[in-house]
Amino acid sequence: MHLWNDGNLVKVDEFLDAFALRRNELFLHVIQSLIELSDSEERAILESISNHMQGRGVKMPATHRHLTLS
């Protein structure tokens, strides 16, 4: 979040790639959960990061999963 606040998108992307967070399903769920639990300032930052990741081709997890009966 500090890199994001500093406006250093290159370092944010490098960090995400270095730890393979773009492809980590658990990380995507954690970001979504933190957004839902955060106060307004943190929420805005996390939503911006989430939007940045989506803009780079990362599909964020759905917050609600539909169950089907077979």
Return the pLDDT at 58: 61
User: How buried is 27 (Cβ within 10 angstroms: 0-12 exposed, 13-18 middle, 19+ buried)?
Assistant: middle
Residue pLDDT, tens place only, 6-19: 999 999 999 999 99
Residues 59 and 22 sit within 8 Å (Cβ to Cβ): no
Residues 32 and 60 sit within 8 Å (Cβ to Cβ): yes
Q: Is residue 70 part of a domain?
A: no
Domain count for the chain, please give it: 1
Mean pLDDT score, 38-58: 87
Q: Is residue 13 part of a domain?
A: yes
Query: Is the model's pLDDT at 65 over the cut of 90?
Result: no
Mean pLDDT score, 44-56: 88
Q: Is residue 42 part of a domain?
A: yes
Return the pLDDT at 64: 43
For tokens 């960090």, name the residue: 15
Residue pLDDT, tens place only, 19-40: 999 888 899 899 999 999 999 8
Range of the domain at 35: 2-55
